[in-house]
Structure 1
Amino acid sequence: MPTLSLTARIRGTAERTFDVITDLRGYGRWLDTSADYTGTIDITDGPVRVGTEYVERSGLGVRRGVVTAMRSPETVTFHQPMTLRPRLLGVIDSAVTYTLTESADTVTLQRDIEITLPPALKPFAPVVVARYRKESERTLHALKNFIEAPQGRPPA
């Protein structure tokens, strides 16, 4: 099972960063769409908490995610298996865990992704993992820009 670990240092607080990460309805404010992420929809009513479910569609398939762990403002885990198109390719099972560590005026944000590939994709593991890495880097960059932008102004 491939695992990716990426880290970003963000000028801000763990609370604010955690709040942005767990505000599934607000992702459109800071994360542009891409080939692998077209938005988060069909979010369970109420505040985001353990058990909250959501859907993310892309050209490759549909992720049906659920928040599986949450301890504010230190950690949150999203389990998000993606049923591929066409369905006969199977399901890429993934879990994304954010761990936040605050010190002085910065937050160290670690994003760990555990990926389990269906048999049909195992020969293509390097390509799939590279794609997950690229999207994770894009996400962390967008999050950092949003958190560090002056309040009331869009990120650069």
Structure 2
Amino acid sequence: MPAMQFQTTVERPVEDVFDLLADLKNYPRWLPSGGLYKSVAQISDDPVRLNTTYVDHGSASMLTGRITEFAPPTLLTFRQFSKQRIAGLEGGLEIEIRYTLDAHGTHTHVTRAIVFQVQGVIWLLQPIIANAIRKENERIMATLTNYLNAPSPATT
């Protein structure tokens, strides 16, 4: 399974960063549509917790997600999957997004680790999918960094 890792350090306490990442309903406040991500909907719990489910609407697919690790304020993991039919052939995509947050005084080091697996006919598109996932994760981390390092971001 292909894996990628993205890191940044933000000028916010670890609790603020975790709260922002776990607040799915307010993602539009800091993460605009673009790249692969469009919106999150059908969130089963507010506030979110372990096993909260949601639907991630993307530009090319819709992924059903679940929070599989929830350990405030340092660990948050999402697992998403999508099944698709292309020319009558089955295919799918499964993605795990794992945030690990390390406190350093008033700063937080954020690691976003991605593992994904393509299945069926989608396998033929793996290099294209991997490139799109890399670009989208770079965009998400840059947006997160800019938002949290702004003079007074509202994180709740």
Fold agreement, TM-score > 0.5? yes
2:92–2:120 CA contact under 8 A, matched in 1: no
Deviations 1:18-49 (A, max 9, x none): 00000000100000101411111111133100
Determine helix, strand or coil for the equivalent of 2:57. strand
Deviates further, 35-44 or 108-117: 35-44
Secondary structure, aligned partner of 1:117: strand
> What is the TM-score normalised by the length of structure 1?
0.90
Separation (CA, whole Å) in 2 of partners of 1:152 and 1:68: 27
Distance 1:19 1:152, change over 3 A: closer
Q: Aligned-pair RMSD on alpha carbons?
A: 1.7
Question: Partner residue of 1:134?
Answer: 135
Contact 1:9 1:106 in 2 (8 A): yes
Report the identity percentage.
29
Taking structure 2 as the reference length, the TM-score comes to 0.90
Question: 4+ residue stretches of structure 1 with deviation over 6 A?
Answer: none
Cα drift, residue 9 of structure 1: 1.1
Checking the alignment, whether the CA contact within 8 Å between 2:147 and 2:153 is kept in structure 1 is no
Normalized per residue, the structure richer in strand is 2
1:85–1:34: structure 2 CA closer, same or farther, 3 Å change rule?
Answer: farther
Q: Which runs of 5 or more structure 1 residues have no equivalent in the other structure? A: none
Deviations 1:86-139 (A, max 9, x none): 483521001100000111332110001110111323233222111101111111
